[in-house]
Amino acid sequence: MRLIKHKTNIDFLGVTRRKIALAISVIIVVVSLVELAREGLQFGIDFTGGILLELGYPEPANLENIRQNLSAAGYDDAQVQRFGTETDVLVRLPPQEGVNPEELREDLRRTIAEGTDGVDLRRVEFVSPQVGKELTERGGLAMIIALLLIFVYVMIRFQWKFAAGAVAALAHDVIVTVGFFAVFKLPFDLTVVAAVLAVIGYSLNDTVVAFDRIRENFFKLRGVSAEESMNTSINEMLARTIITGVTTLLVLVALLLLGGESIAPFSIALIIGIVVGTYSSIYTASATALLLGVNAQDLLEPVKDPDLIDDLP
Partner 1 sequence: MNKYPAWLNTLVLVVLLTGILFAMPNVYSTAPALQLADSAGEAVTEEQLTSYLRALEGEDITPEAHFIKDGRGVIRFAGETDQREGAELLRSWFGRNTNVALTTAPRLPDWMRNLGLNPMSLGLDLRGGVYVLLEVDMATAIGNRMQGYEQDIDDRLREARIRHRVDLDDGIITIRLTSSEDLEAARRFVNLADPNLLVAEGTDGKSLTVRMTDQQIKERQDFAIEQNMTTLRSRVDQLGVAEPLVQRQGVDRIVVQLPGVQDPNELKGILTATATLEFRLVDQSGDMPGSRSYPGRGNEPTQVLKREVIASGDEIVDAGFTYTPEGQPAVSITLDSAGGERMLATTRDNVGKPMSTLFIEWQEKEVVRNGVPERRLVKSEEIINTATIRGVFKNRFQITGITPVEGQKLAVLLRAGALAAPVFQVDERTIGPSLGQDNIDRGFRAIQIGFLAVIVFMAFYYRWFGMIANVALLSNLVFIAAVLSLLGASLTLPGIAGIVLTVGMAVDANVLIFERIREELRDGATPQAAINSGYEKALSSIADANITTLIAAVVLLAFGTGPIKGFAITLMIGILTSMFTAIVGTRSIVNFVFGGRKLSSLPV
Residues 25-44 that bind partner 1 (CB under 8 A): none
Residue whose CB is less far from partner 1, 56 or 295:
56
Residue whose CB is less far from partner 1, 23 or 251:
251
Q: Give me the 49-88 binding string for partner 1, x by CB under 8 A, dash otherwise.
A: -----x-x--------------------------------
Size of the site for partner 1 (CB under 8 A): 78
Count other Cβ atoms within 10 Å, centred on residue 245: 16
Residue whose CB is less far from partner 1, 31 or 155:
155
Distance between CA 12 and CA 224 in Å, rounded? 16
Question: Binders of partner 1 among 264-303, rule CB under 8 A?
Answer: 266-267, 270
- Residue 124 lies near partner 1 (rule: CB under 8 A): yes
Task: Point out which span in 11-19, 217-225, 254-262, 299-307 binds partner 1 (CB under 8 A).
Answer: 254-262
- Residue 258 lies near partner 1 (rule: CB under 8 A): yes
- Residue 19 lies near partner 1 (rule: CB under 8 A): no
Question: Binders of partner 1 among 187-216, rule CB under 8 A?
Answer: 190-191, 193-195, 197-198, 200-202, 204-206, 208-209, 212-213, 216
